[in-house]
Amino acid sequence: MTTDVFSPEKRSAVMRRVKGRDTAPELKVRRMLWRLGARYRLHRKDLPGRPDIVLAGRRLAIFVHGCFWHGHDCARGARVPKANRDYWLGKVGRNRARDAATLAQLEAMGWRVLVVWECGLKDEAGLEAALAAALAPKTPPRPAPSPRPSRSSA
């Protein structure tokens, strides 16, 4: 077991600074949504998991997840701290299980859910396209008009 590089007081101060809302990635997604013309509510307590961003009219809940904290399969999310390894594996595992349960609950309630990963913010054009697609109205395709019978002049 590796010991922590920080004293317990310093580690406590570092962990206190980790924010759960209004993070830089979340603010970036909110600015993109605003530019796309979307208006939203934040952290609705009446929905499972308190989604970071809620577009009620579109029944869309958006979560902005940090790759490390939610165990994404990217390089940053796959890292496991050397100190207190078992604790962190358990912590991230519980977060992933909670996220899956929250997603299932929201979908069962008829909500669409979009998860934006912290690493996905690097590709701004791709993220903006994904957000625009999520905002697009979900109307069923119209059937093609049937051909009109031709009128022949006799």
Query: Shortest CA distance to 49 belongs to which of 101, 96, 88?
Result: 101
Taking CA atoms, 52 is separated from 58, 60, 66, 81, 82, in Å, by 15, 11, 12, 26, 30
140 domain-assigned: no
Residue 57 domain-assigned (yes or no): yes
Residue 39 lies in a domain: yes
Is residue 2 assigned to a domain?
Answer: no
Non-local (6+) Cβ contacts of 133 within 8 A are none
State residue 16's pLDDT score.
Answer: 77
Q: Looking at the domain assignment, is residue 142 inside a domain?
A: no
Average pLDDT of the segment spanning 84-111:
94
Tell me if 5 is assigned to some domain: no
Residue 125 lies in domain:
17-134
Is 80 exceeded by the pLDDT of residue 76?
Answer: yes
Residues 6+ apart with CB under 8 A from 48: 101, 102, 105, 106, 109
Residue 146 falls within a domain, yes or no? no
CATH number at residue 75: 3.40.960.10
Q: What pLDDT, on a 0 to 100 scale, did the predictor assign at position 6?
A: 79
Full-model pTM: 0.80
Domain count along the chain:
1
Q: Are 63 and 113 in contact (CB under 8 A)?
A: yes
Tens-digit pLDDT profile for residues 38-69: 999 999 999 999 999 999 999 999 999 999 98
Handedness of CA 130, 28, 42, 89 (dihedral sign): positive
